[in-house]
């Protein structure tokens, strides 16, 4: 067991994706092993996966190089054929590079990601039952210090204007990492309150799941 404090946390984004490598096979295993001819990935490379498996699609995982043509998709447990039907996990993998640190972060808050429930009302029972039916959309909200001259903030605002998608990486003190992928939204009009630093709102809405790694 360990406790961590947020001081020193850094957040990065990237819109640089390498040429997609075709995944011709993905195993039902923990971790899943993908076949991609001459994939070129090395250990710990972040890769964006597009897959027929919903719980792997549009997620950023770290690669575990096995051979020139196979790699492990770390932290992807696809052993359940109920949720990961055999033979349907193929797709593509793209290495993510050129990470850019988001400057002047003041606050980080996750949003969504909780379990969604449906209500069942049996005729012969007085009490309704809640049954899990899926998950809420997930993302992260940031507050950053306003700076109209900062080149990174301007770049994020430009990505926002074209509904651009980015990979997201949060690195906590001690080396833990959280990845996501989706639309970036960086505000242009700042928030102001007396006695506090002027702030901009930044959000990333994930298309897939957030994937976490320990140090």
pLDDT at 162 over 90: yes
pLDDT at 2: 79
Instruction: Inform me whether the pLDDT recorded for 1 exceeds 80.
Output: no
> What ranges in the chain are assigned the alpha helix state H?
151-161
Full residue range of the structural domain in which residue 90 is found: 16-96
Short-list 99, 59, 97, CA closest to 182: 59
Tell me the mean pLDDT in the region 162-188. 96
Of 70, 96, 122, the one marking the end of a domain is 96
pTM: 0.93
Same domain for 116 and 86 = no
Residue 56's CATH number: 2.40.30.180
Confidence of residue 118 (pLDDT cuts 50, 70, 90): very high
**Would residue 105 count as lying in a domain?**
yes
Widest CA span in the chain? 66
Looking at residue 32, what is its pLDDT?
98
C-alpha span between 99 and 110 (Å, rounded): 20
141 and 107 in a common domain: yes
Show which of 96, 112, 137 is a domain's final residue: 96
Average pLDDT, the chain: 96
Q: Is 39 in the same domain as 133?
A: no
In a domain, 11, yes or no: no
H or E segment to which residue 54 belongs: none
Rounded alpha-carbon distances, angstroms, from residue 61 to 3, 64, 203: 24, 10, 21
Task: Single out the residue in 96, 111, 130 at which a domain terminates.
Answer: 96
Q: For position 3, what pLDDT does the model report?
A: 84
52-88 pLDDT tens trace: 999 999 999 999 999 999 999 999 999 999 999 999 9
Q: Dihedrals φ, ψ of 116, to 5°?
A: -95, 140
What pLDDT is recorded for position 136?
95
CA distance 194 to 199: 12
**How confident is the model over 17-55, as pLDDT tens digits?**
999 999 999 999 999 999 999 999 999 999 999 999 999
């Amino acid at each position: 067991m360990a406790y961590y404090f947020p001081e020193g946390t850094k957040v990065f984004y990237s819109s640089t994706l390498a040429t997609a490598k075709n995944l011709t096979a993905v195993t039902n295993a923990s971790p899943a092993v993908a076949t991609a001819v001459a994939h070129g990935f090395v250990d710990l490379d972040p890769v964006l996966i597009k897959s027929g498996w919903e719980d792997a699609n549009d997620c950023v995982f770290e690669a575990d190089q096995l051979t020139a043509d196979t790699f492990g998709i770390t932290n992807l447990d696809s052993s359940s054929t109920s949720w990961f039907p055999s033979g349907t996990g193929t797709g593509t993998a793209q290495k993510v590079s050129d990470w850019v640190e988001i400057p002047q972060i003041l606050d980080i808050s996750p949003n969504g990601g909780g379990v969604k429930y449906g209500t069942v009302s049996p005729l012969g029972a007085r009490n309704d039952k809640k049954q899990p039916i899926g998950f809420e959309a997930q993302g992260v909200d940031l507050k950053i210090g306003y700076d109209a001259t900062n080149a990174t903030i301007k770049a994020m605002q430009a990505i926002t204007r074209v509904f651009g998608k980015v990979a997201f990486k949060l690195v906590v003190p001690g080396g833990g990492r959280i990845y996501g992928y989706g639309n970036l939204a960086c505000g242009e009009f700042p928030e102001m309150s007396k006695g506090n630093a002027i702030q901009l709102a930044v959000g990333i809405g994930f298309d897939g799941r957030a994937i976490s790694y320990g140090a």
